[in-house]
Amino acid sequence: MNDGFVRQLWHYLALIFLALLALAPIWVMIATSFKDDVLVQDGKPLWFFFAPTLENYQYIVTRGKFDRYLTNSVIVGAASTAITLLLGGFCAYALARTDFRGRTLMANSTLLVRMVPPAVLAVPAFAFVTFSGVKSDLAVLTFFYTALNLPFAIWLLFGFYKQIPVELEEAAIVDGATSLQVFFRVLLPLMKSGYAVAAIFTFRIAWNEFILALLLTGRTTRTLPVGAAGFITDTGVEWGRIMAMGTLIVIPPLLFTFFAARQIIAGMTAGAVKG
């Protein structure tokens, strides 16, 4: 056994240990979601067990309003993602390609509003819904999620547009293409991965967000996180059911992670490493 091999072995062992730490709590949730109440209340950790039960899932799907929450979440997530990418893409393109009056101000304020804490939005959003007469519906939530996500999307897409050589567009313009044609026919195909990263981050925020969703939705417009929190009652928490709900909420983000981990890491590190 040479030194290199031993070192590599330790390297792997350390990584496996850390991976287990990261995964364990998520696994606890998944395992608990398949336990009946007796098993949950027993209090003895069971990582794996025979005879998992689907009764928690059955309950939330049939007795709860899961289908409605799911529909709401999907609508808000998809709509805010689509609008964010469209508007943010235009904006990032202009910022990356031209030097106009107010560009620096625009760039700075975009990054500043990115930091606005959701708690600050809570009261004004509540005031808006209470007094504008606008019903607390999914459109309002979609609007706020779009606003929340735009700064990061612009900032991310800006970096991707910067990497595309200007000559490509110039050639297209010489060939007689309009600005919009250049944008849609020349640039968009090259921007696929950039938009994919932005889409994942935008959708994830909209899918996971809780505070604004709680304040701005009514009985029929609740999203999944709000629905899940509803299983916490004054008399206690229905752990099996809430874990089943949590597991279902986590599925899309986990799928994104497994299929697009590289892009997610690119998005996360873009700010720190590039800047």
Partner 1 sequence: MSEISQKPRFEPGAFTPYAFIMPAIVVMMGGLLYPVVMAFYLSFYDWEIGRKLADAPFVSFDHFVRMVADPQVWEVLWVTIRFGFWTITIEMTLGVALALLLEKPIRGASIFRTIFILPLMVSPVVVGLIWRYLFDARIGWINYYLGVWFGIEPQVWLGDPQLAFFAIVFTDIWQWTPFIFIIVIAGLQALPSEVVEASTIDGANWYQQIFLVKLPMIKSILVIALLMRLIDVFRGLEVMLIMTGGGPGRSTELLSLHIYNRAFDTQQLGYASAISVLLIAIVFGISTVILTMANPMKSKSDV
| Near partner 1 in 19-58, by CB under 8 A | 19, 21-23, 25-26, 28-29, 32, 40-45
Least distance between partner 1 and beta carbon 202 (Å): 13
Task: Rule CB under 8 A: say whether 59 interacts with partner 1.
Answer: no
**For partner 1, the closer CB: 54 or 116:** 116
Query: Min. distance of Cβ 99 from partner 1 in angstroms?
Result: 6
Q: Based on the number of CB atoms within 10 Å of its own CB, is 206 exposed (0-12), middle (13-18) or buried (19 or more)? A: buried
The interface mask with partner 1, positions 213-252, x = CB under 8 A, is --x---------x--xx--x----x-x--xx--x--xx--
The CB-of-157 to partner 1 minimum distance in angstroms stands at 11
DSSP class per residue in 249-262: HHHHHHHHHHHHHH
Q: Where do runs of H (alpha helix) occur along the chain?
A: 3-33, 37-42, 55-62, 66-97, 103-113, 118-132, 138-162, 166-174, 179-181, 188-190, 192-208, 211-216, 224-229, 239-269
Asked if residue 261 binds partner 1 (CB under 8 A), the reply is: yes
Nearest approach in angstroms of CB 105 to partner 1 is: 11
Binder among 87, 164, 190, 196 for partner 1 (CB under 8 A): 87
Q: Which of 120, 133, 167, 189 binds partner 1 (CB under 8 A)?
A: 120
Structure token pair of residue 254 = 């986990």
Site string for partner 1, 60-79 (x = CB under 8 A): --------------------
3-class state of residue 92 by DSSP = helix
- Residue 132 CB, nearest approach to partner 1 (Å): 11
Sign of CA dihedral 246, 248, 249, 250: positive
User: Residue 115, interface with partner 1 (CB under 8 A)?
Assistant: yes
Q: Out of 110, 136, 202, 221, name the contact with partner 1 by CB under 8 A.
A: 110
State the nearest-atom distance from the C-beta of 54 to partner 1, in Å: 20
Structure tokens that stand for 99 in this block: 């030097």
Question: What is the CA angle 161-163-169, rounded to 5?
Answer: 65
Place of tokens 């313009």: 173
152 binding partner 1? (CB under 8 A): no
Contact between 271 and partner 1 by CB under 8 A: the answer reads yes
Distances (CA, A) of 209 to 6, 86, 96, 212: 45, 21, 30, 7
Q: How far is the CB of 58 from partner 1 (least distance, A)?
A: 20
CB 249 within 8 A of CB 228: yes
